[in-house]
A = this chain, B = another copy of it.
Amino acid sequence: MPIQSPVWRSPITASDRVLLEIQRAIVEGDIPAGSKISEPELARRFNVSRAPLREALARLERCHLIERTPNAGARVVKLSPEGLLSLYQLREELEGLACRLAAENMPEHEVDELSALLDQHLNSQRVREGESYYQEEGDLDFHYRIILGSKNAYLINILCDELYFLVRMYRVQLGMNGPRVSRAFDEHKAIITAIANRDGELADLLMRRHIGASRKNIEIQLLQMRNEHDISN
C-alpha cells in the first residue's frame, strides 16, 4: 500500500487518479528511470485523453519525478549518487527545522499518538525480526508526522509533496533499506522525547544526526556498489 501525501485532496478527477498511478509506477521502477514518456501511449494505457494526463505530468514535474523540455517531451528522472546526496543534504536542514518547529507547535495529543505508535511498532517489529517493514512504512510515517507537526505550510509542502516521492524512489530502486533498523528505533524515540520535552534545539540536532547517519550509510553502500562493479569488469 503506497503512502500517500498527507496534504492530499481526495482523488476525484481523472488527472488525480492518473497522477497516483504514474507516481507509483515511477517510484517502483515500473516505468524505468531515465526513460522517455510518450503522452499518447500513457493516455491510452490509463484510458484518459491527453488533457488530464498533461495535468498529471505537470504535477509529476513538481515532485521531481520527471523532467520536461518544451516541444521535446518528458523523461523520468535519472537517479544518481550526487542527486541522492543532494536530497539528503536538503533533508538534514529541512527536517531539522521541522523538529525545532514541532517542539514549539506540535499539539500534545499528536506527540502522544506518535510516541504510542513508536512503541507499537517496536513490539510488532520484535516479533518478526529482520522484516524491513518498519524501515519502509514506519520510518516514513514517523518523519511525515513530525513534518506535519511543524505547522509550517511551506515546509510541509516541500517535504511531503515534493521531496518524499524521490526519497521513496531512491529507496525502492537502489534498495537502500540498510541494516540500521534497530538503531533507527532508538533514534526516533530520542527525537520524539526531545519534542515532548519541548526541547527544539535538541530535537533539531538529533534529527540532523539521524538523517546524517542514513546519508553516511548510503555513501558506504554506494562505495561498495562501485567497487563490486569495478571488480566485475
Contact = CB atoms under 8 A, between A and B. Distances in A.
A233 interface: no
A105 to B, nearest CB: 11
A16 to B, nearest CB: 7
B93 A96 contact: yes
Given A62-B62, A154-B64, A154-B163, A97 B89 contact: yes
A70 B155 contact: no
Interface residues of A, number: 32
A83 B153 contact: yes
Interface string A39-77: 000000000000100110011001010000111000000
B51 A154 contact: no
Contact of A55 (B58, B62, B83, B157): B58
Contacts of A16: 70
Contacts of A70: 9, 12-13, 16
Contacts of A13: 70-71
Contacts of A5: none
Contacts of A64: 154, 157
A152 interface: yes
B86 A155 contact: yes
A71 B12 contact: yes
Nearest to A153: B86
A90 interface: yes
Nearest to A151: B86
A69 B16 CA distance: 12
Interface of A: 9, 12-13, 16, 51, 54-55, 58-59, 62, 64, 69-71, 83, 86-87, 89-90, 93-94, 96-97, 101, 152-155, 157-158, 162-163
Chain A to chain B: the 5 pairs with minimum beta-carbon distance, closest first? A58-B58, A86-B152, A93-B93, A93-B97, A62-B62
